[in-house]
Amino acid sequence: MSVAVDTPGAVETAVGAEIDGLGDARPGIAQTALALARLMDDPKSRNQQPAAAKVLVVLLDKLRTAAVQGRRGRLAAVRTLTEKGGGA
């Protein structure tokens, strides 16, 4: 059985745009989100789509949280260096 490679569907395209740049911190979660998006686009997977949608929302939230924490971590480091340099 050969598997045809189709163009990304609407959900996969939207998820790809949403996670662009967010997946750097958690690439495994980003790829899982894309896999779930492909499932959402597959009309043969109607029975699994409600559960996949719930998991997809959770994974997207985790990616956003990881991206924000990464930015805060760098900002906190800069603040610490600035405070040490300013007080000396």
Q: What is the pLDDT of residues 21-57, one digit of tens each?
A: 888 889 999 999 999 999 999 999 999 999 999 999 9
pTM of the model: 0.73
Mean pLDDT for the chain?
Answer: 85
Pair 39, 45: CB distance under 8 Å? yes
pLDDT for res 88: 47
Confidence of residue 4 (pLDDT cuts 50, 70, 90): low
Pair 29, 37: CB distance under 8 Å? no
**Which uninterrupted H or E stretch holds 61?**
helix 49-87
